[in-house]
Each structure stands twice: as structure tokens, then as C-alpha cells.
Structure 1
Amino acid sequence: MNEYGHFGAEDFVWNEAFRRWVLVPTQEDHVFWESWQSENPHKAAVIAQARELVQAIGPRLEHLPESEKNRSIGEIMEHFDDRALSEVSSHTPLLRSFWFRAACLLLLLAGFATLFTRYNMRKQTGFEQLLAAGEMLKEVSNDAQKTIRITLQDGSSVTLDPGSRLSYPEHFTGSKRLVQLSGGAFFDIVKEPGRPFYVYAGKVVTKVLGTSFHVRSFNNEKEVSVSVKTGRVAVFTRENDLSDDMDEISEQSGVVIEPNQQLIVAQKTTRITKTLVPNPEIVAAPEKVPSFNFEDSPVSEILKTLHTAYGIEIIFDENIMKNCPVTATLTDLSLYEKLDLICNAVGASYEVIDGRIIVDGKGCQAR
């Protein structure tokens, strides 16, 4: 927990764990950072300053090239001179400082606007580059009341929802496969190592190698969503640096989601929420689907069985749950119905946080 002891505000601003706590915190993030602050009270002003900066920047600068990030944050920090900071009384919380809020607002409106204007003038998205290069594209619009199926040149298939439109090359060339979606569609992508597949949909770009997933991005809706049926995908916002060297972008540069997980991105703010799909499905191969008939089985084993069947991470205290036997037949129940029944049987509860299921309970002996 002492790894952040030498951090200044600039270091916290670009630290992935710190940014997640400020922008899209999980329960574990809250526990960690509250504990760290209590153990490092001398860092209170630095933490407050870094939080203000992250909130002002939002997610938009997170994936800019390192040189752009360093330059932009350097420009910001130049404004936080010793004289100005000394004007903030030690008895006045930094978050309430008029100077600090004014500085953040000024920088957000002026400095960042200049940075993005300069940056975007020399950057285009991959799909816009495709159009500029005169690539021969096909466009299919679904004006019917039911889905239609499109087979792409590489063998991948797209099930296009009503009211949706897909643009794609007749032949995929080069080291990447690019399509653009307006509306909703289910993609079943053929795996081609070394040639990733990209779906551009509004402010969201989804990168895959070979998997099946659904994207929903209608212009009149407030959110874009991506959900995975099989495999895994990496999701980026259009503010990410996706135009150059796209093949070199790692999954860690985006938000990775796996089977039964979905990502929801707000159209206006690009705020990202990672959660589970409304109706999780069994993802285990038919021959590996476990039995859901339990007789005096420890809750810990039942939860592990659910993880195997649905591919969803379930977090619980095994030392507590292994002493809680349950007899139940869960075969015809949905995942959430299964969890409701099991948790009610042992006086526990659960919640979905960051695409995972957290089970909390004191155990059978405490009932």
C-alpha cells in the first residue's frame, strides 16, 4: 500500500487505479483508497488536487499518446504555482478552493480545447481514413420489421436489427477489418490471428479477434451498449488514439468485457459503466454444463458451479460459505433466480459491481 507514497498529483492523474476510483469506482476501489488516505493524511492536498484534475479531464485524455498526455498535464501543472497554492488556507478544503475550481474550469475550456483541436486536426479515425482512401464500400440498411443476415467477405456474419445500417468493404485488405454500424447488430466474427476486426458505432469502437457480440448505437438514444456472448472484446471511445497503428493497441488500452458482460457508454459524456447483461446465458459447452441439482451442497461449491456455467466471476468468502449446506433444484431458473434462492437460504445477499457478482453474508452459524 506504500507504492503511492512518492506520487505527486501528476502521477495520480495518469495512474489507472486512481482514475478508475475517481471515474468508475468499484466497492474494492473505495475500500482501498479510503484506507490509503487514512494511513497517509499528509497526502490529502495532493489527492484532492489530483481528483479535481481527473474529474475535469474525464476519460477523454486517458488514451492519448504518452507524449500528448505528458505535455497536456505539464501545461496544467504549470498553473499550480506555489504562490497560488499558498493562497489556499490550510483550514479550507482544497476541493472548495475558489482558485482551484476556477483554474480547472479555465484549463478545461481553454487548454484542453486547444489540445484537442490541435490533436484532432492531424488525426482521423480508422474508418474515416478508409473512406478518404476511396475504399469500395457496401451499405446495407434494414428497413424491414425483422432482422436480416449479412455475410462478410471473410466469412463473418452480421445480424442487422430493424432500423439499422451497416457499411463495410466488399473485400477486407490490409492488416485490419473495419465496418461501421448505425443502429444495432449481432456480430459473429471469424477469427483471423494478426488481423483484428473493428466495429465503429457512434462514439464507441469495438476491437475483436474472433468472437460473437452485440452492439447497439442508435443516434436518438442516450447510450451505446456492447455485450458479449462468446470470447472477449476490447471497447474504446472515439477519443482514444485509434487512427494510427491500431493493430498495436492492446486490450489494456480499452475496457475488456467477457461473456455475459456488457459495457454502457453515455453518448454525451462517454462515461463508461461495466455491468452484466439483463439475462445471463450459460456459456459452458453442452458437454460441460454442470448439474444444478444440489443435495446438502456447500454454498461455496454451488457458487463455483454457477461461475463454471455462466463464466461470470463470483466473489465470496469461502471460509464462511463452505459451512452452509443447501439442498435445491435450480435447473429451470435464471441465473438471478438461482442466486436469489441460494442467498435467501443462507441469509446472504448479492450485488453486481463492475461486471462481477459480489456475495455477502455472515454464514449459517450467525443466523
Structure 2
Amino acid sequence: MSYSHEELEALLQNDEFIRWATSRETVENAYWESWVKQQPDRQALVEFIRSLHAAEQVHPGHRELADEVWHAVQLQMEAPVRRISWRKYAAAAAVAIILGAAGLWYGLSGNRGGEGGLVVQKVNSVNITAKNNGKAPKTVYLTDGTRITLGQNSTLAYSNLLHGDKREVHLEGEAFFEVTKDAQRPFLVYSGGIVTKVLGTSFRVTGHDKITVAVKSGKVAVSRQQRDVDEEFILLPNEQVVFNRKANTLNKTVVVDAMLLQNPVTSHVTLNFDEAPVTQVLDSLAAMYTVDIQYDRNLLARCMVTVSLEQESLYDKLQIVCKVLGATFETHGNVIYVKAQGCN
């Protein structure tokens, strides 16, 4: 499985969704009804949860529901494909694809998050903000393949396509970074008066009044954002810098708290599609990376693909999908256009 039980449990902590999905009577909810209609697998997922609840296999509690859904999905995924009914397979796929994206489904459908999830909003056609309103860490995926685990009550501001000769993000709060290497485009994290510059590494930035940058792997350079202060620290693995905003001091030490070097979300999301509509694949990628992917929906309506997408960048994932489909893609401005011949 590409996601943990803890992630699934956290994703099922949306009270509004649980009440609607497990209600024995028809309860009108315009948002969730619209959400279900966006992709066929979502309806299958809801029916799957309702069938478990109707058979009294689950209780309304979040943990019980997560346990039962997890157990049922495990059984379905382990069974031979030929024995899996369409509805059960679709439900399993829906959990793996929709829920497996480390909480993104809370925020990416209508920029909705609530107490339990990640709220992702487009400030304009280029810039995005992601805020973790939940109690569990949430994952943000950048188009270059960088993975950022955002801590509770933390906010990240960034550009979706990361154009230009450098990659820049702005952080308020705490996050663990796993930055994709790109020697031609350094990665810059602005947080609380300091800037952390990397080419490709893993590290954590945490704190408000005292900002700590702790390096797990690779090498980073930390300096003040003030242009009139020429002071820079080079950090190697197991080293950290603490910036005291009130005292305006930077101090370099070894990492004392080993937990600073651990990513609380250990597994990368793997998107597995088995004879799935390519429109679903493209829509899933657009939601995962919060980008605008344009294509002819009617032309591709009958195109089905089987593909597994793991730790690649968005562009690598699109290359794989287009190779399977016999298509091409190109970026103009802030929009990605997929060009294909269609399927019979």
C-alpha cells in the first residue's frame, strides 16, 4: 500500500463527510453531492462505506470506520483482480487514489478544508497557499517532485509551476522538506526573517519566535533576509541553526532533538490506475499539484490507461501518461496543454 493507516484515519476525520456518507436517510448536502459527481470512483467509495455501515460492520466513529475501510481495502487489493467486482475494485482504487494523496482531497475540491484537512487556495493564476488546519501532518507536492510535510497550523506559499532560475517558497510555522535536486535552480525557503538555500536535500524548518533549520541530508546555506547583514552558515547533516528573532542572533550547533530529522509522513504516494479513464488520471494530477491541465475531455473520454506513478515530478508523470496514451504536452504560461488523437 502507498499510504499508512494513520493517514487514512486522519483523512476520515471530516465530520460533515462522515455524517453524510453514513446516514441511513437521504441527507442533502450540495457540496458532497457535487464532489461525488466529479469522478466515478468517488461514488463507488461512498457506496462502499455506506454498505459497510448498513451491514453494521462499522460504527460512526472515525477510528472504527478507518479500521474497517483499511481492512476491506487490504482484502480487495490482495485478492486476484479477476475476482474483484467493478464496484469493489473502484472503491479500493478510490481509497488509494483519492484518500491516499495524504489529505489533499480535503482542500483541492472547492478549496475546502475545515478542521480536519489541508486547505489549498489559489491566490491568483500563479501563486498558491496551503494551510494545515488539521491535527496530523499534511503533504504538499510541488511540480518539480519536491515533497513538503506541513505541520499543524502552518502555512506554505509557493508558485505552482516553479518557473524561473530559482524555486522559492514562503513558510509560516513548521515543515519537513525533501527537495528534488536541480543544480541549475536553487531552492529557497523564506521563514521568519531567514532564508534557507538548498540544491537538493532533506531538512526541517520550525518555529515562530525562534526559527530552527535542521539538516537530515545534503547541505544547506542559512542567512538572514536582511540585505545589509552579511552572515551565512553552511549546514551539513545533523547540524542546525537557531535564529532568535527578538535577539536577532544566529547560532549554529549540532542537532540535539533527533525528532527534528524525521519526516512524520514516511511513505510517498503512489497513484495506481488499472484500466482507468485517462481523464481521471489527468484530473488527479491537476488536483495533486494544484495546476491547470487542459485537454479535450470528449476526445479522451474513451481512453483507458494502466499506469503506476510514484516519486516522479509532475512533468515526469505526464511524460509517462503521454507515452502510454501516444500524446504530447506543453506548457504555455501557467497552463499545461495535453494533445492527443483520442481513442476508438
More helix by share: 1
TM-score range, shorter chain: 0.3 to 0.5
Q: Higher RCO, 1 or 2 (CA under 8 Å, sep at least 6)?
A: 2
Scaled by the length of structure 2, what TM-score is found?
A: 0.38
TM-score, scaled relative to structure 1: 0.35
Query: Which structure features the higher share of strand residues?
Result: 2
- Structure showing greater radius of gyration is 1
